[in-house]
Chain A
Amino acid sequence: MAKAAAKTKAAAPSVERRPALAGRTLSAPGVKVEMLPPAERISLRAPGASLAVLSKALGVTLPAKPKSSATRDGRTALWLGPDEWLVIDEAGNDPLADCAKVTALHSAVGISHRNVGISVSGPAAAATVNSGCPQDLSLDAFPVGAASRTILGKSEIVLLRTAQDTFRVECWRSFSDYVFTLLSEAAGDAAN
């Protein structure tokens, strides 16, 4: 387990940010779909030899197991590929600045504003996501903490199960209207 590192606070935005679909929510019987507040995100690519140093700098152990994630102090690292991770920080710290201090070989790209997060929660959450996502979302196959890049209808998403009945759907902001609408329509059907 990586020790908690001294994290760098995210810089205040120099321009006015208007997150896509901010504040939109939809409640249906058994499921709630809502836009999540903005977060700091990086796309991290690194060879195995750099992982220990990067994990220490980020304060969260980068998972090596497929379809898994690790969370510590509001920062989540999601395994996307054998050398690729998505790091999401919801505590207002900047993972990009933490990675910048690391001299070991890696590539960290800030994608905070490329993605938006959508929360799907409630007893019918899995059925709602499954309306467009072909993966097996039973708790055996997709337990709490499981994370995977996959598809939702026509859009690529990153799916993270944060609790038994809660999913975080990450999609590109330009796809967010499609993704949110699809999930909203599915939420209405999922309760039936």
Chain B
Amino acid sequence: MLLIRCPYCEEERPELEFRNAGEAHIARSANIAGESDDDFEKFFFIRANPKGIIYERWRHIHGCARFFNAVRDTVTDKFVMTYKAGEPKPAKLPGAAK
């Protein structure tokens, strides 16, 4: 079983307590009604789906119930790090080559 560090509980917890909640850092337009159909489609449906590092929202639903962000590698399925919701993308990832 994967252990995922919850930044609010400040410890690693079993994956069964968590739910994935899609890609992180997708900003909703302040003027959503004024968006063109193409822009709205990009915001609403189009996701990066990269091979490698992905920034995701996760929820500790069977724990503290908080949403937080996680950096995960889609190739190895390893969690690189997690950080609280609302915080910016980490500038440098731990263990990154560059």
Contact A151 B64, beta carbon cutoff 8 Å: no
Q: Chain A residues near B97 (CB, 8 Å)?
A: none
Which residues of A are interface residues toward B (Cβ below 8 A)?
66-67, 80-82, 84, 134-135, 148-151, 156
Task: Return the chain A residue nearest B1 by Cβ.
Answer: A134
The answer on a CB contact under 8 Å between B62 and A149 is: yes
- Chain A residues near B1: list those with CB within 8 A: 134
Which residues of B are at the interface with A, using a C-beta cutoff of 8 A?
1, 8-11, 13-14, 16-17, 62-66
Given A134-B1, A151-B16, do A66 and B9 touch, yes or no (CB 8 Å)? Answer: yes
Nearest-CB residue, chain B, relative to A67: B9
Q: B-side binding surface: helix, strand, loop or mixed?
A: loop
27 contacts between A and B (CB under 8 A): A66-B8, A66-B11, A67-B9, A67-B11, A80-B64, A81-B8, A81-B63, A81-B64, A82-B8, A82-B64, A84-B64, A84-B65, A134-B14, A134-B16, A134-B17, A135-B13, A148-B9, A149-B62, A149-B64, A149-B65, A150-B13, A150-B17, A150-B62, A150-B63, A151-B16, A151-B17, A151-B62
**Which residues from chain B contact A67 at a C-beta distance below 8 Å?**
9, 11
The smallest beta-carbon distance between A169 and chain B, in angstroms, is 14
**Cα–Cα, bound, A84→B14 (Å):** 21
Q: Known pairs A67-B9, A82-B64, A84-B65. 8 more at Cβ < 8 A?
A: A66-B8, A66-B11, A80-B64, A84-B64, A134-B14, A148-B63, A149-B63, A149-B64
Taken together as a complex, chains A and B put the C-alpha atoms of A192 and B10 apart, in Å, by 34
CB distance from B46 to the nearest CB of A (A): 33
When A and B form their complex, which 4 residue pairs have the shortest distance between CB atoms, in order from nearest? A134-B14, A81-B64, A66-B9, A151-B62
**What distance in Å separates the Cβ of B16 from its nearest Cβ neighbour in chain A?**
5
Q: Would you call A156 and B62 a contact (CB within 8 A)? A: yes
Q: How far is the CA of A80 from the CA of B66 in the complex (A)?
A: 10
- In angstroms, Cα B13 to Cα A67, docked, is 11
State which of B11, B13, B65 has its C-beta within 8 Å of the C-beta of A81.
B65
Task: Give the residues in chain A near B62, CB-CB below 8 Å.
Answer: 149-151, 156
Known A66-B8, A66-B9, A67-B9; contact A81-B14, beta-carbon cutoff 8 A: no
